A and B are shown apart, each in its own frame.
Chain A
């Protein structure tokens, strides 16, 4: 209800002409530069809306005259990066693992690439530092079930363990207790024998006899293991499923057949090579 615009005697400014119960409102406009900034923002918004994707629509959104999209930008960046890496990746693909290991440039590239591939694909089971956990092998120690040479590591990564891949590493431990091959007492006796291999228990002749009949074929005399068959060394201090009497008893009774996926379908050759170099460098290399 604007009434009358008049000059306020105290401040020398105009009123807005609004009056409520005798209280008049002063008209104190924004500084000019502020107003123009505001107009500039409006102009910017209009131009932006025309040039860039901005307004949602029933089935999508306005595309903008520049045809910009952040996805396309990301694709571009990724392909630019791939192009930049291409020369290294090609060299990694063609070089043998031993050659990669010897070439400082390739080695550094493979270590960086291998680390990042490990963090994405392997750490879920093997741990961020390759330390493993119960049932998932420690890659930092010097005990290798399927072999710790760089070529053996590559083969394990490529085809995996006990999966549907044609060339996957295969072997099977019988379920001695569950399938009735041994009685509970017999399993206990052979458990004591296994513990005795690393000096942790006294073996009975019965345990030694069962081990000789049932276990030596894969785990070899003295429980030294066989990497061809993925049969772990039972005489050292490293136990994938725990080294307590109870854990070993259960391993024999129920059997252990851990599995690892084949990566050949999911990762390219260069990435798998870089992974092999990285894992090989973690410390347990043989």
Chain B
């Protein structure tokens, strides 16, 4: 026998192993149907969420004459957001920012408690993919039938089924795109217009865009969206810890796995009978028994699969279950059980941030004024000398009336005691120490206001002044800072 060293000498030089390619072709996933507790919860979530999405634009709300009757309407043309009795003006778009921050902290909070519960149950990608898979199953059959169908050469039957499936997908996608548009335009009239070919180009463009994205993302891309496109799975690890509830395979109980025939002993082996059902039902096509993976969206369907199998073979359920990493480690080490601790610094921090942001938004919303004032000084010319030597500045004054009734406000300025006001507007013209301006409901009243001081009282350079409007009926008050510019000396 030659020594190993000599053997190596004689062996031809081995080519270096080729680098693994950067592109991994997609392995098609054919998720199998499963029933169980989590599947039920997922169906319920799907019905509620899709129901809300499709129905909400059709809710009506009476706001009196001249106002839209749609309960929730983001009217981009007229720059108003209607939410039942709340009307949001464009400059209050920070409420959207607030809701986004709230959403982010809510996501952090839920993740620290329950892992990827958002991904698995409520994310639109998951909900629509679930719906599309259900349609696919209705038309092409379950996992094995679909795999067989895809292997078959094209035939009339296959063509019919495939066409039917894509037609159904496109119909759902079009309904999704249509419903999206209805949040921005009046739903009943636009629906009629869309079918009559009378809707605007924007409407068709957005219906088309959302039809295309829904069809492509839920029909074709599916789990690839979660694995490759979505940033959330990439940094969610920062929100999770060993106390977050996640879908876990109880390795210590399941291994060593192996096939099991009825009547065989369970001694010396694990409870996993390697039936592969958990893999077959997984919508992202992974094996949960490999441990935590970035592809896992935490939908819990493998739990339903394993529960079904364990019931069948008569072993305790829960081989795959919601559990924390800490509890699993304790069970594996056979030490004292570690209970789930929902209250811990991380969850307290997220809950705290959530409450602070929510409180700030509530306060801002409660203090939201329905009278606002903006003042812009004319800078060309910077100031005017009148024939008697007086110095005058002109300002564009805008009074926002967010009420549904007309407002009459009294305009005053502070900071220039000897000033006289002159004003020119649609309904008003005149002069005096103060002015009463009328603003129509739900509009911005625009006025030119002239502030005149005698030459002796004119400041050298800029002097800060404050414009104030007060609702004559009491209540609304708003002020705005400005400057009065006089000739330099």
Residues of A within 8 A of B (CB): 9-12, 101, 104-105, 107-108, 127-131, 138, 140-143, 233, 236-238, 281-285
Contacts and interface: CB of A to CB of B under 8 A. Distances in A.
Contacts of B426: 104-105, 107-108
Contact of B386 (A11, A127, A142): A142
Interface in B366-414: 378-381, 384-389, 392, 394
Contacts of A281: 424, 448
Given A237-B389, A283-B422, A127 B381 contact: yes
The 4 closest A-B pairs by CB, nearest first: A131-B381, A129-B380, A104-B426, A236-B387
Contacts, number: 60
Contacts of B388: 236-237
B268 interface: no
28 contacts: A9-B15, A11-B18, A101-B429, A104-B427, A105-B426, A108-B426, A129-B378, A131-B380, A138-B381, A138-B384, A140-B381, A140-B394, A141-B386, A141-B392, A142-B386, A233-B387, A236-B387, A237-B385, A237-B386, A237-B387, A237-B389, A238-B385, A281-B424, A281-B448, A283-B384, A283-B394, A283-B422, A283-B448
A80 B429 CA distance: 34
A142 B385 CA distance: 9
Given A9-B15, A237-B389, A127 B427 contact: no
Question: Helix, strand, loop or mixed for chain A's interface?
Answer: loop
Nearest to A236: B387
A205 B379 CA distance: 44
A42 B389 CA distance: 73
A275 to B, nearest CB: 16
Contacts of A107: 426
Contacts of A282: 394
Contacts of A10: 15, 18
Nearest to A285: B424
Nearest to A133: B381
B476 to A, nearest CB: 21
Given A108-B426, A129-B381, A141 B450 contact: no
A26 to B, nearest CB: 12
Contacts of B448: 281, 283
Contacts of A141: 384-387, 392
A42 to B, nearest CB: 22
Interface in B439-469: 446, 448, 450
